[in-house]
Structure 1
Amino acid sequence: MSLGTLIGEFPSDVADEICAAFANLPQKVIWRYKGHRPATLGNNTLHKSIKHLVRHRGTNAIYEAIYHGVPMVGIPIVFDQADNLSRLRAKGVAEVMNVSELNTKNSLNVMQEVLKEPSYRMNMQRLSRLHRDQPMKPLDTALFWMEFVMRHKGAAHLRTESYRMPWYSYHSVDVMLFLLTIAVVALLLVAALLWSCFRLCCKRKVKLD
């Protein structure tokens, strides 16, 4: 179980509930957790055979699970995680737990569902086969492009035009200055219009007096 680099711990009551659920599983559990050791933490130890992952479902975590063909239990917290999990659940490779509903019973039920129902692993292994079916292995691809760049003296023809752009264009400083100028001119025009209206009102008031 891992919730990524941004979220390293839960409130103590939630962590206790999750640990109690893990303690009821016969499998070993690997949990990346930075908080204090929960009181309900079981004796589960590290194990090389991972049955499923409990993750926050960021993009990197999804590719990791698909590559290894491991089904998931997801806990969406921020950003694109809820959308990612809804797509995975639709493909039958994941289940979702709401942060607000995390307790021992719910967590245990969902994890046991993913562990015991073979369709989750079968569906994920099918995705894994699709993901791995490539004309070249990633390492071979990386080696080819490194050698390609070396053969062609840096492969200047593949470089983007950004290398030739001046720093102010690369960082869009000219665009920001242009937009800022328009905004300042617009504010000055509005201020001048309001001032003219104010003076006109003052003159009418003086005439009426």
Structure 2
Amino acid sequence: MTIKTLSVFTKNERSIATDLLSAKVSTMLGRKMEEEDWDFVYCNAKKIPETDWSNLHIDVNHDGLGVEHKMLRVTKSGSILNECGTTKMHPAGTRSIRIPAEKDPNKAMVDILNQYNDLIDSRTKTVLSKTNKKIADMRIGWLLWKDTLEEFLYFEEKMVKPDPQFYFAEWNTTPARGSRKSSKSLWIYEKNTGKKKYSVTTT
């Protein structure tokens, strides 16, 4: 499935974001990039109110714009642009999903994807409740950052509700290793490509 990126910043906003990010990095003293760091840069570049970061609500909610921010650290050598065209999975897409007690992986998948779709609907209604606009601009924003804090790559895509009919699933169990407990995950794949799209960990 090809995902199209969306326009994010105007030329002036991009310049402001670059300056703010540079200033932010200079004060971080080598610590890792946090969600609130990017929220500060993003909101101030676009001149919108900063929001309190939380896994329980959408990160940006302003005048019909809803953005869920996700951050991924890049530890590989070479330019961060080498990540373009690759597939990424965020380790914590959402923590608002209940795992059904269902042995059939495809039935469990339908339940989980429907819950995720309900979550998107709920967040869309929340965004619309704070604007006079009829349609909410719902997005997912991805910030990839080098652990050296030398390069950053940010893009946004439309927040799309997944249709269960285009996916299939299987259970995967990871055995205990050392101090790590065993875990069971539901792996969800795209039917047309066979690529893994989601991984939902139950334990």
TM-score, length-scaled by structure 2: 0.22
**Larger strand proportion of the pair:** 2
Which of 1 and 2 has greater Rg?
1
Select the structure with the greater relative contact order (CA < 8 A; seq sep ≥ 6): 2
